[in-house]
Structure 1
Amino acid sequence: MAALRRTLGSLAGSCLADRRLWDRLHAQPRLGSVPTFDWFFGYEEIQGLLLPLLQEAQAACPLRVLDVGCGTSSLCTGLFTKCPHPVDVLGVDFSPVAVAHMNSLLEGGQGQPPLRPAHPASCLRFKQADAQNLQPVAPSSSFQLVLDKGTWDAVARGGLPGAYQLLSECLRVLGPRGTLIQFSDEDPDVRLPCLEQGSPGSTVTVQELGPLRGLTYFAYLVQSSH
Structure 2
Amino acid sequence: MNLAMNSQGCGYTPNCNETAAPGNDSLSRWEYWNQRYKERNEAFDWLTDPYLTVQSVLPYLEETKSKDILHLLDLGTGTSRFPSELSKHLKDNFNLFCFDYVKECLQFQRSSIFRSDFRDASNPFARIMFVCGDAESLPFKADTMNIIFDKGTTDSLLKDKIKGKERTHSVLSEAFRVLCPNGKLLQFTDEDPDVRIPFLEESCRNWNVSISYKILSSESIEYFMYTVVKK
TM-score normalised according to structure 2 size:
0.82
Question: How far has the Cα of 1:57 moved from its partner?
Answer: 1.1
- Secondary structure of residue in 1 paired with 2:68: coil
The equivalent residue for 1:220 is: 226
- Alpha-carbon spacing, 1:65–1:9, altered in 2? closer, same or farther (3 Å): closer
> Partner residue of 1:157?
159
SS of corresponding position for 2:224: strand
CA contact (8 A) 1:80 1:123 kept: no
Match of 1:116 among 119, 128, 144: 119
Determine the structure 1 residue equivalent to 2:69. 62
Q: Which residue type is aligned with residue 143 of structure 1?
A: M
Instruction: Report if the CA contact (8 A) 2:142-2:180 is conserved.
Output: yes
User: In structure 2, do the counterparts of structure 1 residues 106 and 221 end up closer, same or farther at CA, with 3 Å as the change threshold?
Assistant: same
Take 1:133 and 1:53, find their aligned partners in 2: how far apart are those partners?
26
Residue 71 of structure 1 aligns to a residue whose secondary structure is coil
Alpha-carbon offset, residue 15 of structure 1: 1.8
Deviation at 1:169, TM superposition (A): 0.6
Tell me if 1:22 matches 2:33. Answer: yes
CA contact (8 A) 1:80 1:87 kept: no
Partner SS, residue 59 of structure 1: coil
Q: What's 2:185 paired with?
A: 180
Counterparts of 2:85 and 2:169, CA distance in 1: 28
In structure 2, what is the Cα distance between the partners aligned to 1:69 and 1:18? 13
The higher-RCO structure (CA 8 Å, 6+ apart) is: 2
Specify the alignment match of 1:92 in structure 2: 99
Q: Distance in 2 between matches of 1:152 and 1:86?
A: 28
2: distance between equivalents of 1:9 and 1:198?
Answer: 21
Q: What is the alpha-carbon distance in structure 2 between the residues aligned to residue 18 and residue 164 of structure 1?
A: 16
- 2:203 paired residue among 198, 214, 219: 198
Q: 1:177/1:6 Cα in 2 relative to 1: closer, same or farther (>3 Å)?
A: closer
Conserved 8 A contact 2:88-2:118: yes
The DSSP-based 3-state class of the residue aligned with 2:27 is: coil
**What CA distance in whole angstroms lies between the structure 1 residues aligned with 2:24 and 2:186?**
27
- What is the DSSP-based 3-state SS (H/G/I as helix, E as strand, rest coil) of the residue aligned with 1:179? strand
Shift of the 36–62 alpha-carbon distance from structure 1 to 2, 3 Å rule, reads farther
1:119 and 1:52 map into 2 onto residues whose CA distance is: 24
What is the CA distance between 1:14 and its match in structure 2?
4.5
Aligned counterpart in structure 1 of residue 134 of structure 2, from 130, 135, 141: 130
Identity of aligned residues (%): 27
Gap runs ≥5 in structure 2: 1-13
Cα RMSD between the aligned structures?
2.6
Alignment: residue pair count = 212
In the alignment, the residues of structure 2 paired with residue 119 and residue 198 of structure 1 have an alpha-carbon distance, to the nearest angstrom, of 40
Instruction: Provide Cα deviations, 1:49-88, integer angstroms capped at 9, x if missing partner.
Output: 2111111111343210001111111222222223233321
Q: Which runs of 5+ in 1 are unaligned?
A: none
Q: For 1:74 and 1:118, locate their aligned partners in 2 and report how far apart those are by CA, in whole Å.
A: 21
Tell whether 2:112 aligns with 1:105. yes
Query: In the alignment, is the contact (CA less than 8 A) between 2:17 and 2:47 conserved in 1?
Result: no
Q: Distance in 2 between matches of 1:117 and 1:157?
A: 37
